[in-house]
Amino acid sequence: MHRVACNERSRVISIDLSSSDVSGSIGPEIGRLKYLQDLFLSASNISGSIPTELGSCSMLQQLDLSQNSLSGKIPPSIGNLKKLSLLSLYDNSLSGAMNQFLEEIYLHGNQLSGSIPFSVGQMTSLRSLWLHGNMLSGVLPGSIRNCTKLEELYLLNNHLSGTLPETLGEIKGLKIFDATSNSFTGEIPFGFEKNCRKYLSCHSII
């Protein structure tokens, strides 16, 4: 159901136009919606880039622009959204970085390149990290150990290499790990292998 919701002062707090016939680009005017908490525009006909002005929506908690035709870089201003917990941008043609305060990140099926930054370890609230189907390279940083709430980690179909960090085994709550179709070498860390026996949904990477 498509809807626009306002608070008691007639300020827009939620926009849900998912799976609609909305087309065109997201204009810079979006930054004027200072009270916006939820923006859902998935599976529509949105194109162009994500405007920098979106970073001015300081109350934003959930942002879903997945399954559109967006391109260009994820603007650094997204990092200003300190209350943002859900970022879903999958199945677009985006590149760029991530917000450290997020709980759920869905960036699969884009054109993200470069390495997974060491700063991923600062995402201590992260529960789901879906990065599969991109062009990421380099190693999985050992700082991933700090993501102690992580439950789902999808890295398949990238260009990642090297050995898995021993610290991966310290994430006791990790239920799903899939890093197939990469170039990882070596053995699965001992602690992580024990978790894999406990959670049958974990995937081998070798």
* CA distance linking residue 61 with residue 121, whole number of Å: 21
pLDDT of res. 54: 96
pLDDT of res. 188: 72
At the topology level, CATH places domain 1-89 in 3.80.10
All structural domains of the chain with their residue ranges:
1-89, 112-206
* SS3 category, 140: coil
At the topology level, CATH places domain 112-206 in 3.80.10
Query: Among 59-68, 77-86, 169-178, which range has the highest average pLDDT?
Result: 59-68
1-89 and 112-206: same fold?
Answer: yes
Write out the two tokens for 170: 């310290």
pLDDT of res. 21: 84
**Contact by Cβ (8 Å): 58, 81:** yes
Q: How does pLDDT run across 20-49, given as a tens digit for each residue?
A: 888 999 999 999 999 999 999 999 999 999
pLDDT score of 62 more than 60: yes
pLDDT of res. 97: 60
Write out the two tokens for 197: 């026996």
C-alpha angle 141-95-144 in degrees, rounded to nearest 5: 15
* SS3 category, 51: coil
Which letter does DSSP use for residue 44 in this model?
S
Which residue has 């994820």 as its token pair? 74
Higher pLDDT, 166 or 14: 14
pLDDT score of 193 more than 70: no
Higher pLDDT, 97 or 52: 52
What is the maximum span of the chain, computed from C-alpha positions, in angstroms? 59
